[in-house]
Amino acid sequence: MKQYLGIDLGASGFKYGVGDSKHGLQHFANIRIRNKSLEELADIFAQILDDTRNMKIAGIGIGCPGTLHMADAKLVGKNPNLPELTGISVKELLPEHLALPIWVENDANLMALAEASLIDPSVVIGITVGSGIGCGIIQDQQIYHGAHGFAAEPGHCIMVPDGELCSCGQKGCLEAYSSVDGIRRRLRDLNSIYHDLNLPDLIFKRKEVKEIDQVITQGEEILIRALANLITVLDPQTVVLGGGAMELGLYSITHIQQQVLQYIPLAHREIVNIALARYKNQAGIMGAILLCERSAG
């Protein structure tokens, strides 16, 4: 079986691995991002290619945060995680004469693709909770892109009319309340001294600091309503929740499973399954490798 290089561009680092969907990853590593300049990002790609140069690779799959134009994989609009990438494709950061096919896809779409490959249902929604809120919709093991590639952005559905300012410029988006950056921004707006804590410390301090608990609780409640809306619209068999914040336990999967039920129509209550992602922090890489396998044919 051919091996591929999967790269997952996160807000704090690039995770990458070499492998195939049957045997998993033979190699896995992570390079941290410091200043997010295009030069630095290109340099990280060069380091990854150097690290994997002795491995037999048939192609490269890249998971990129943000909204990508389907035709050319260029990043559309403002991306708070990798702001310098707006209007360009990550392909442009790779060496020009690389003799390998490269496929680029939204990172949450790849997480959903990887998780859907582990289970059989025809419709799977994958949600990532991290610095932002990502989503992928998989039907019959294929990514649903919409007409232009812009589908599956519930992070920017407005959940609170005239609510908190979101990084996208709108007010009241799901991401402004339920993402880790959203929670920090809200704490900063409350003049909380805890707004720049890292996520494990925020989760820990929640037990003793009321304002942190209130902001996280509201983030969870708004996420639950957004999940209920997605289930009502899309009728999935399974909703998979992943991303760094779910892994660390920012929100309780049991609470979400129970509470979603009160916001969805009776017909959906018995049939929808909500689960944690199984590939954990390798979901994006495995999705990128799957993308290569399927695209290469």
Residues that bind Zn ion (CB under 5 A): 156, 166, 168, 170, 173
Task: Classify residue 271 by its DSSP letter.
Answer: T
Question: Tokens 């941290």 appear where?
Answer: 32
Q: By C-alpha distance, which of 292, 293, 284, 290 is closest to 15?
A: 284
Which of 48/173 has CB closer to Zn ion?
A: 173
Task: Characterise 36 by phi-psi region: left (phi > 0), alpha (psi -120 to 50), beta (else).
Answer: left
* Other C-beta atoms lying within 10 Å of the C-beta of residue 1: 10
CB 82 within 8 A of CB 68: no
CA–CA separation, 248 vs 203, rounded Å?
A: 8
Which of 20/181 has CB closer to Zn ion?
A: 181
Q: Which residues on neighbouring strands pair with residue 171, listed in sequence order?
A: 165
